[in-house]
């Protein structure tokens, strides 16, 4: 019967060995699961950071509140070329901003019959500081 007991003991030792090995592997799996979860959280945070940086990198004065002077030089050049292409495609003649030559100007005109005339004459010469005198008899007509 000893040979049966030896076989039983060998089988029992083998089972115990496998149970210990299974317990070790389960501990490794648990540790790996914790590591994977920690890495998943880090990856989520880094993906969010990359998305924010890409969003910021894509901003320029055209799609954000920043002034054009804050655009990178390459971006300003690209925008200038894009404006020029658009103006060439429109076929309109090139015009400068503001009043065009030959256009009638507007402004406040002098009244032919003013309500009151007030003379503003300097008392001294601005260059040398000499007195100009108080002679008001040589009043001239208003310059129009």
> How far is residue 115's CA from residue 15's CA, in Å, rounded to a whole number?
121
> How far is residue 143's CA from residue 42's CA, in Å, rounded to a whole number?
80
- Residues 57-105 have pLDDT tens digits of 888 888 888 888 888 888 888 888 988 888 888 776 777 788 888 888 8
Global model pTM greater than 0.85: no
C-alpha to C-alpha distances, 54 to 50, 67, 69, nearest whole angstrom: 6, 19, 20
| Extents of the domains making up the chain | 2-62+69-90
- Residues 93-143 have pLDDT tens digits of 777 788 888 888 888 888 888 898 888 888 888 888 888 876 655 555 555
pLDDT of residue 23: 97
Report residue 7: phi and psi, to 5°: -65, -40
pLDDT(13) > 70: yes
């Amino acid at each position: 019967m000893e040979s049966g007991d030896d076989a039983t003991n060998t089988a029992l030792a083998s089972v115990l060995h496998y149970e210990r090995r299974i317990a070790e592997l389960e501990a490794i799996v648990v540790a790996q699961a914790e590591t994977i979860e920690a890495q998943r959280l880090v990856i989520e945070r880094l993906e969010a950071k990359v998305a924010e940086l890409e969003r910021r990198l894509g901003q320029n004065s055209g799609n954000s509140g920043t002034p054009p002077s804050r655009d990178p030089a390459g971006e300003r050049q690209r925008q200038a070329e894009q404006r020029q292409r658009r103006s060439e495609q429109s076929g309109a003649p090139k015009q400068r901003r503001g009043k065009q030559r030959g256009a009638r100007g507007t402004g406040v005109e002098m009244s032919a019959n003013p309500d009151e005339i007030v003379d503003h004459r300097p008392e001294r010469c601005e260059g040398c500081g000499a007195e100009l005198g108080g002679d008001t008899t040589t009043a001239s007509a208003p310059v129009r």
